[in-house]
Amino acid sequence: MNPKRILVVGAGHVGLYAALRLSKKLSSREAEVIVVDPQPHMTYQPFLPEAAAGNISPRHSVVPLRRELRRCKVVAGTVTRVEHDRKVATVQPIVGPAREIAYDHVIVAPGSVSRTLPIPGLHEQGIGFKTIGEAIYLRNHVLDRLDVAAVTPDPEVRRSALTFTFVGGGYAGIEALAEMEDMARDALRYYPELEPEDMRWVLVEATNRVLPEVDRDMGAYTVQQLLKRNMDIRLDTRLESCVDGVVKLSDGDSFRSDTIVWTAGVKPSPMLDATDFPRDERRRVTCIPTLQVVDGDQVIEGAWSAGDCAAVPDLTKEPGNFCSPSAQHAVRQAARMADNIAAVIRGREPVNYKHKHAGSVASLGLHKGVAQVYGIKMTGWPAWFMHRTYHMSRIPSFNRKVRVVVDWSLAFFLKREVVALGQLHDPREEFVEASQPVGAPRV
Ligand SMILES: Cc1cc2nc3c(=O)[nH]c(=O)nc-3n(C[C@H](O)[C@H](O)[C@H](O)COP(=O)(O)OP(=O)(O)OC[C@H]3O[C@@H](n4cnc5c(N)ncnc54)[C@H](O)[C@@H]3O)c2cc1C
């Protein structure tokens, strides 16, 4: 028997876990696993806020693909098209011409991208919070704004530098806001020119609550905690424009802000538009609970999907409900999917995915948090501790777990680093200046 070729599109929570499991379960005579992703690593997104806050090294909140997936073939590139009719994907490697890869089974797991709205100025001024690059840029930018505010004689410039606006109050937005504020407050001890009251941290949320993943009382607790930290929480409010950094809100308020972070939800990866997979009205790939792609009642043989880009029925709820886009579902779906693919290759029946969402844990800065897990509600230090232990247990590989724990321990004993490395974003600037030919006009 020729080994079956399994092509994995995207090595995130779904892709990495599924590929790892498949390569352990199936022998090389049974299957060959090819993983395509433009990034050389999987990003453990729940750690992005802590990486941005400097509690974890950015390198330790990602998982290197080649190190973990030694029994798979890793291709550094982007899948630009999938023609499942022909069972062929087009891959654009990071260098060189595009090429086609034929497969027997495909795992469609490109995840999601920020869901934005056509708000004037957002495209030019905003930044998302989904990648390690964005998280580290934001960290450097926030610390850089403190430096600007400390040195400028202009009160307008200072106010704008010290105003940080976050749009969207889901867990990504709340964690990013709370962790960044906590870090900036910590950093202020080294800035005698600035007082904590000089900073303005604004959360803009279109609905009347935050953290929709937990009960209302936990959302209300979170708002109270943020208010106690002098944050400006605007519920039932929308961002209307932010042209040239002037934030205009639907409640009529307007102010300058050098920092506008967009965390108002996600939508399935647009790469799905270049595939022939059936999709629902939210543009997710339609799946049945076995994680096979389905067109109406028709199972599409050899096509599998899960995670943020897939509409997977939630069997723990009434019919018509789908699993939420979360790491919690993504990694469990990946395991079930890998087992199902192995079963199908061996001539057995796939099994349904069923997992009751356990709840959510969110960090609100060092030693602060909120958690609701299996109905048990926790706040403050215990919730924060639970957040850390849960995610530490979840990040793939023993190697990463050890590194993350070491990072936390160092930050505990030596205090976290609060230095901006903004030069990282334009590393050639100094060399370009120094290597300018004599007499050449300066650019
Ligand atoms: C800041 C933040 C905090 C979060 N915290 C939590 C939390 O506490 N708990 C929780 O349960 N969930 C959390 N989530 C959500 C969770 O991270 C996502 O639901 C999960 O990552 C989805 O997994 P995925 O595999 O579908 O997508 P991803 O993990 O995003 O992986 C998608 C992969 O596909 C690759 N890709 C994209 N396009 C292509 C292409 N064309 N070709 C090849 N590869 C491609 C990408 O590079 C990426 O590696 C958080 C998310 C964020 C942003």
3-state secondary structure the chain: CCCEEEEEECCCHHHHHHHHHHHHHCCCCCEEEEEEECCCEEECHHHHHHHHCCCCCHHHHEEEHHHHCCCCEEEEEEEEEEECCCCEEEEEECCCCCEEEECCEEEECCCEEECCCCCCCHHHHEECCCCHHHHHHHHHHHHHHHHHHHHCCCHHHHHHHCEEEEECCCHHHHHHHHHHHHHHHHHHHHCCCCCHHHCEEEEECCCCCCCCCCCHHHHHHHHHHHHHCCCEEECCCCEEECHHHEEEECCCCEEECCEEEECCCEEECHHHHHECCCECCCCCEEECCCCEEEECCEEEEEEEECHHHEECECCCCCCCCECCCCHHHHHHHHHHHHHHHHHHHCCCCCCCCCCCCCEEEEECCCCCEEEEECCEEEEHHHHHHHHHHHHHHHCCCHHHHHHHHHHHHHHHHHCCCCCCCHHHHCCCHHHHHHCCCCCCCCC
Looking at every residue in the chain, the average pLDDT score rounds to 94
Answer CATH for 4-114+267-346 from 3.50.50.60, 3.40.120.10, 3.40.190.10, 3.20.20.70: 3.50.50.60
CATH topology identical between 4-114+267-346 and 132-264+359-413 = yes
Give the nearest ligand 1 atom to 36 CA. 43
Cβ–Cβ under 8 Å, residues 161 and 346 = no
Cβ–Cβ under 8 Å, residues 295 and 286 = yes
- Determine which of 35-39, 243-247, 403-407, 434-438 has the lowest per-residue pLDDT on average: 434-438
Report the relative pairing of strands 232-234 and 200-204 from DSSP bridges. parallel
User: With 60 as the cut, is the pLDDT of residue 287 above it?
Assistant: yes
pLDDT tens-place string over residues 299-312: 999 999 999 999 99
Paired tokens of 107: 């795992």
Cβ of 9 below 6 Å from ligand 1:
yes
The CATH classification number of 132-264+359-413 equals: 3.50.50.100
- Determine which of 107-121, 283-297, 410-424 has the lowest per-residue pLDDT on average: 410-424
Structure-model confidence comparison of residues 64 and 437, the more confident one: 64
Closest by alpha carbon to 106, among 74, 79, 76? 79
Cβ–Cβ under 8 Å, residues 9 and 36 = yes
Residue whose pair of structure tokens reads 């067109």 in the numeric block: 295
Mutate to test the pocket of ligand 1, among 326, 331, 364, 391 (most ligand atoms within 8 A of CB): 326
Domain spans of the chain?
4-114+267-346, 132-264+359-413
Band of the pLDDT at 216, cuts 50, 70, 90? very high
Q: Hey, what amino acid is at 162?
A: L
pLDDT tens-place string over residues 221-243: 999 999 999 999 999 999 999 99
Report the separation in Å between the CA atom of 429 and the middle of ligand 1, taken as the mean of its atom positions: 33
Report the separation in Å between the CA atom of 12 and the middle of ligand 1, taken as the mean of its atom positions: 6
Band of the pLDDT at 258, cuts 50, 70, 90? very high
Band of the pLDDT at 443, cuts 50, 70, 90? low
- Determine which of 2-11, 23-32, 353-362 has the lowest per-residue pLDDT on average: 353-362
Cβ–Cβ under 8 Å, residues 262 and 138 = no
Band of the pLDDT at 442, cuts 50, 70, 90? low
Report the separation in Å between the CA atom of 266 and the middle of ligand 1, taken as the mean of its atom positions: 10
Cβ of 36 below 6 Å from ligand 1:
yes
Residues 200-220 have a mean pLDDT of 94
Paired tokens of 172: 């990504």
Cβ of 47 below 6 Å from ligand 1:
no
Give the nearest ligand 1 atom to 309 CA. 26
Whole-number pLDDT of residue 370 = 94
pLDDT tens-place string over residues 97-117: 999 999 999 999 999 999 999
User: With 90 as the cut, is the pLDDT of residue 434 above it?
Assistant: no
Cβ of 327 below 6 Å from ligand 1:
yes
Report the relative pairing of strands 126-127 and 259-262 from DSSP bridges. parallel
